[in-house]
Amino acid sequence: MRAAKSLQEQSKNWDSVYRDLQRQIIAGQLRPRERLVEDEIIARTDATRHAVRKAFDELERMGLVIRQPNKGVQVRDYSISEIEELYEIRDCLERRAASRFSQPADKALVDQLTDIAARHRDASRAQRYADVFSLNNSFHEVLYRAAGNQQLADAILQYTFATHPIRTRAFPSEELREIAIAEHFEMIEAIARGEGRLLGDIIGRHISGPKDFYLRATYIQGSI
């Protein structure tokens, strides 16, 4: 029987399992609709059952997996119509937030976004996909919180979480990562000048790239 582990060890164990599964999903090693089998993960990682279930909880919270009756935990997937509907909502919400940047942004906000964008660029070029994932989320949350409507920012965050499996599938594409890097800096320039309409156009391009990649990879080519 396995000896009881300290709370600190269990926490570390959970975080390690979560990050490993997150990395595999982002990198496409775990495919849409693929089951995550609890016992297999325990055997492979030597994690506790509690740690694996906590990792599943976090993956579900981040929108990367779903739980289904009689099917357990699966990597999340969407139909074409669901994807189009989700991105129609995202486009409306995020353009609305962009329109609120009608005046040049404070230097502190520009500096904060520039720092995040630079770290995201470095992580992307080093192919540290987990860091790309978290820094990209940070960039957009800081941006939309600064728009001044917290209910709108919360709604954007909700739909961003819902599209995590779609967005992350594009991470292995160097071309799309470079486009995303450039678009982040274009967004910063737009808010620095108070050009909300231009910001909305950049955001529209920014969110459509990963969506189009996912549709091609999943429903046309069948693989990345």
From 45-49, 123-127, 215-219, the region with the lowest mean pLDDT: 215-219
One domain for residues 90 and 117? yes
Question: Is the residue at 2 inside a domain?
Answer: no
Residue 193, Cβ neighbours under 10 Å: how many? 14
Q: Where does the pLDDT of residue 102 fall: very low under 50, low under 70, confident under 90, or very high at 90 and above?
A: very high
pLDDT score at 1:
42
Indicate whether 68 belongs to any domain: yes
Q: What is the pLDDT of residue 223?
A: 44
Per-residue pLDDT band at 224 (split at 50, 70, 90): very low
pTM score, whole prediction: 0.76
Task: For residues 202 and 132, state if they share a domain.
Answer: yes
Question: Which of 157-161, 175-179, 186-190, 215-219 is the least confident region?
Answer: 215-219
Q: Of the candidates 75, 110, 126, which is a domain's last residue?
A: 75
**Cβ partners under 8 Å of residue 76, min gap 6:** 32, 63, 64, 65, 66, 164, 165
Summarize pLDDT for 114-141 with one digit per residue, the tens: 999 999 999 999 999 889 988 999 999 9
CATH code for the domain of 160: 1.20.120.530
Domain hosting residue 144, numbered range: 80-220
CATH number of domain containing 34 = 1.10.10.10
**pLDDT tens, residue by residue, 141-158:** 999 999 999 999 999 998
Are 62 and 136 within one domain? no
Based on the structure, what is the number of domains in the chain? 2
Q: 186 and 89 in one domain?
A: yes
Which of 21, 51, 75 is a domain's end point?
75
Both 194 and 124 in a single domain? Answer: yes
- Inside any domain, residue 1: no
State which of 75, 90, 109 marks the end of a domain.
75
